[in-house]
Chain A
């Protein structure tokens, strides 16, 4: 893929997005519901015309060369776009034929991809009877039929349970190993970290940060230390105390009242140790200590100073995203 630049003037969904993805790399686009991720993918896959601005994918302009472009891309939508009434094999065979594979080649390709995505046993069953994970795998297989050089994965694991999510991740990693350029949208920092080499964070149709994964992680504080004192009344004084010490540097400590814990952004193991030491020095008994990757909310908090602008501040389980025209 050559350069990929976008400008959008008018639309609320995308308000001037510039993006460039290196050939053979995985670009993660991280953002909450309604940030414009799906709109971005739909424009890049020629499903939606841009209001303004221009974009090229694999050297083809999305507006003036849609047919050529469609030949080199694969698309896996947010809501699995397989035909539920068709058996898995027929789904793949259909796509093969639509991509102008001769009958024999389309048959062979369908067999091959079912095998690769461990769906051979379910080949003859309607896709509607598949489990969520199987359906995503079939969807991935369908987008691989034409051996695309650019692959769009629009929230490939939203709504999946953790184990199935890992399965899908493994498949995606294998695809990336084949040298495909991937544009991945996600609401999960963890997913971005697993799959992407570079990350663009979007919010309300704007890019609010971009860079390498490690760079951004450092920016948002790498990890989050979750400290839970035995006595919840100590939460606020502790938070003030820690901020006063300034150990964490980049972002301030958040109090999670509901779960009775402090969320401390940390950059290093030294900071982790220092924070725990500072807390115990206050004579606080700790009920639990754990570290986790920052959630999308925390990423946003540290990058923008406000919470992710999800319509109802929803949990990232709601798969639908507003697509403005």
Chain B
């Protein structure tokens, strides 16, 4: 083994190598879940608690304003919850990764001849699975409280859109997770970003009755676009504008944040 037999040409990692590494790391992340099933609790409980809470607390009054009752609100809320699911699950990726980073095992990964992006991709892949689980639970609860599926194709398209947007957000939170020193600060930062974005949007209530300045914010809030696009896809109505806007945001966020996250991860000391 003493004489170096590997030439410079071998230094590049082929695509198949990247896939193999990401697969191996994904297996690791899945084993984590098997070892610690409680870590999935939030993905299961969060959609149950929030869907029920919003439907029964706001359902009556907002439903009335929508010109119906609680049923009308369920129909309005569920596509919005889909957007919220993407956001909340994406935040988890930051804290989880930060924790992982502070353990010695990252040093080992970083001393191995693998693309550093593999570690991040595997993390995102497993978080997307969590997000899909949360979304599935949310739909079960929604059906139980009277959600009406009018268009299954549209529903699937809305889920796909939420996954696309959610994964682009994950790069943002991954960057936070790599950059910030502790889990607590990642959580605090995530919370600060999350709350205004979630509530200053059309996720939970129509924006017509909000003051003008807030409407300006919600109009540009990508979560509004995602919620409205999902609404259109699931319940019918105009879709194109919000759909393109959401896709645009997803592509832009990924294009900007993914390289930053990988770079920060590569140079993290």
Given contacts A97-B21, A98-B114, contact A81 B35 (CB under 8 A): no
- CB 8 Å contact bits of A74-92 with B (1 = contact, 0 = none): 0101111111111100100
Q: Identify which of B8, B23, B103, B111 contacts A84 (C-beta below 8 A).
A: B103
Whether, in the assembled complex, A67 has its beta carbon less than 8 Å from a beta carbon of chain B, the answer is yes
C-alpha gap A275/B251 in the complex (Å): 80
Q: Of A68, A90, A142, which is within 8 A of B108 by CB?
A: A142
Given contacts A72-B1, A75-B108, A325-B269, contact A90 B28 (CB under 8 A): yes
Binds A, one of B9-17, B145-153, B162-170: B9-17
Which residues on the A side are within 8 Å of B1 (C-beta)? 72, 147-149, 179
Instruction: Please measure, in the bound complex, the distance between the C-alpha atom of A95 and the C-alpha atom of B113, giving whole angstroms.
Output: 10
Q: A95 touches which one: B103, B106, B108, B110 (CB < 8 A)?
A: B108
Tell whether A111 is near chain B: CB-to-CB under 8 Å: no
Whether A58 touches B28, Cβ cut-off 8 Å, given contacts A67-B113, A100-B20, is no
**A199-241 interface bits toward B, Cβ cutoff 8 Å, 1 = contact, 0 = none:** 0000000000000000000000000000000000000000000
With CB as the reference atom, state the residue of chain A lying closest to B100. A83
Contacts of A118 in B (CB 8 A): none
Min CB–CB distance A7 → chain B (angstroms):
19
- The answer to whether B32 touches A86, judged by C-beta atoms less than 8 angstroms apart, is yes
Stretch from A43-51, A165-173, A266-274 at the B interface: A43-51
**CB atoms of A70 and B269 under 8 A apart:** no
B6 in the interface, Cβ–Cβ < 8 Å? yes
With A84-B103, A325-B269 given, is the CB distance from A59 to B111 under 8 Å? no
Does chain A have a CB within 8 A of B36? yes
Asked if residues B107 and A77 are in contact (CB atoms below 8 Å), the reply is yes
- Within the complex, the shortest CB–CB distance from B61 to chain A, in Å, comes to 45
B-side interface residues, number (CB < 8 Å): 35
Q: A86-B35, A94-B28 are in contact. Are A149 and B104 (CB under 8 A)?
A: no
Instruction: Give Cα distance in the complex from A99 to B12, angstroms.
Output: 14
Q: Is A73 an interface residue (CB 8 A)?
A: yes
Chain B 1-40 interface mask (CB, 8 Å, partner A; 1/0): 1101010101111000100110111011001100110000
User: Residue A99 contacts which of B105, B106, B112 (CB distance < 8 angstroms)?
Assistant: B112
Among B13, B17, B106, B269, the residue within 8 A (CB) of A323 is B269
Query: A126 at interface (Cβ–Cβ under 8 A)?
Result: yes
Chain B min CB distance to A323 (Å): 7
* Alpha-carbon gap, A73 to B111, bound state (A): 8
The answer to whether A45 and B111 have CB atoms under 8 Å apart is yes
The verdict on A15 contacting chain B, using a C-beta distance below 8 Å, is no
Whether A243 sits at the interface, judged by CB under 8 Å, is no
How far is it, in angstroms, between the C-alpha of A1 and the C-alpha of B112 when the chains are bound? Answer: 18
The answer to whether A46 touches B4, judged by C-beta atoms less than 8 angstroms apart, is no
A105 to chain B, nearest CB (A): 13
Closest to B114 in A: A98
A86, B28: Cβ atoms closer than 8 Å: yes
Interface contact A85-B36, CB-CB below 8 Å: yes
A117 within 8 A of B: no
Taken together as a complex, chains A and B put the C-alpha atoms of A148 and B108 apart, in Å, by 14
Report if A70-B113 is in contact (Cβ < 8 Å); known contacts: A47-B269, A58-B4, A97-B24. Answer: yes
List chain B residues, Cβ under 8 A from A67: 11-13, 113
Q: Are B32 and A47 in contact (CB under 8 A)?
A: no
A147: B residues at CB distance < 8 A? 1
Contacting pair A85 B21 (CB below 8 A): no
B112: which A residues are within 8 A, CB to CB?
Answer: 70, 95, 98-99
**Chain A neighbourhood of B17, CB < 8 A:** 100
Residue B191 is within 8 A (CB to CB) of chain A in the complex:
no
B24 to A98, Cβ gap below 8 A? yes
In B239-262, which residues have CB < 8 Å from any A CB? Answer: none
When distances are taken between beta carbons in the complex, the residues of chain B under 8 Å from A295 are: none
Choose among A59, A79, A323 the residue that contacts B4 (Cβ–Cβ < 8 A).
A59
Let me know if A75 and B107 touch, CB within 8 A.
Answer: yes
CB atoms of B113 and A94 under 8 A apart:
no
Tell me which residues from 64 to 120 in chain B have a Cβ below 8 Å from any Cβ of chain A. Answer: 103-114
Distance to closest chain B CB from A282 (angstroms): 54
Answer whether residue A23 sits at the interface, using C-beta atoms and an 8 A cutoff.
yes
Please encode chain A, from 86 to 121, with 1 for each CB lying within 8 Å of some chain B CB and 0 for all others. Answer: 110010001101111000000000000000000000
Residue A285 CB within 8 A of the other chain = no
Chain A residues with CB under 8 A of B11: 65, 67-68
Cross-chain contact B8 with A70 (CB below 8 angstroms)? no
Cα–Cα distance between A285 and B112 once the two chains are bound (Å): 60
Partner of B104, one of A71, A79, A99, A148: A79
Contact yes or no, A85 B31, CB < 8 A? yes
Which are the 4 A-B pairs with shortest beta-carbon distances?
A: A81-B104, A97-B24, A149-B1, A70-B113
Sample (25) of A-B pairs whose CB atoms are under 8 Å apart: A48-B269, A58-B4, A59-B4, A60-B4, A67-B113, A68-B4, A70-B113, A72-B6, A73-B111, A77-B104, A77-B108, A79-B104, A81-B103, A81-B104, A82-B105, A85-B31, A94-B24, A94-B27, A95-B112, A98-B112, A98-B114, A100-B113, A149-B2, A323-B269, A325-B269
Q: Which residues of B contact A (CB under 8 A)?
A: 1-2, 4, 6, 8, 10-13, 17, 20-21, 23-25, 27-28, 31-32, 35-36, 103-114, 267, 269
Given contacts A67-B11, A142-B108, 14 further A-B contacts (CB under 8 A): A1-B2, A47-B111, A67-B113, A68-B11, A72-B6, A75-B108, A82-B105, A85-B31, A86-B31, A86-B35, A94-B24, A97-B21, A97-B24, A179-B2
